[in-house]
Amino acid sequence: MKTLFFDMDGVLVDLYGFLSREWGITSKEVQTHSPRIFRMYTEWLHSFGSPAEAFLSLPPLYPDDMKRLILDTKEAGFRVEILTHLGIESPHQVEWGKRQWLDTHFRSFVRKGVISQVNCVVESSEKALFAGPGALLVDDNSLNVAQFRGAGGQAVLYQAETHRESIAEVRQHLSL
């Protein structure tokens, strides 16, 4: 059976759009992960009571379209899972925040098993461990996409700026 793995930051969660609005810079600049951005990100995390609270404050990205896509994927007989990376900064706290976030924005999906599983990895490169025949990753990070393909999986590079095209590409892969 085919399994669709959804990334969270930059795909389901509007992390980069939110921070770019917050900091008055472009979303592309946020994604450079330069030392300056990393400092700003760490400061932002610490401005909350915990990293989990910081994550919970983030809005979803195109929630109606994403929910439709997940439901259509599930109805077509595929499995839907989350594959998200936590980072080295307080991974346990971030994981808790991410699970809470899913329970807030995709509650019925998690509780009714539409989303079968939530997989968390500490390093991005570990996402490739989930690759294999029948695995399709939807991720906004081109390195993750390349590594997943290199490990024998299929992957779609999701880009919020061209959201419709990205969704169409996923649907094409699944013949939806």
Per CB under 5 A, residues contacting Mg ion are 7, 9-10, 140
Minimum CB distance to Mg ion, residue 141 (Å): 5
Closest among 173, 171, 172 to 66, alpha carbons compared: 171
Minimum CB distance to Mg ion, residue 133 (Å): 23
Minimum CB distance to Mg ion, residue 140 (Å): 4
Nearer to Mg ion, 10 or 153 (CB): 10
Nearer to Mg ion, 10 or 51 (CB): 10
Minimum CB distance to Mg ion, residue 27 (Å): 12
Residue 9 per-residue DSSP state: B
Nearer to Mg ion, 26 or 108 (CB): 26
> 82 near 6, Cβ under 8 Å?
yes
- b/e 131-152 (16+ beta carbons within 10 angstroms → b): beeebbbbbbbeebbebbeebe
Nearer to Mg ion, 3 or 84 (CB): 84
* Encoded amino acid at 80, one letter: V
Position closest to Mg ion via CB = 10
Report the side by side order of strands in the sheet with 117-121: 117-121, 79-85, 3-6, 135-139, 154-157
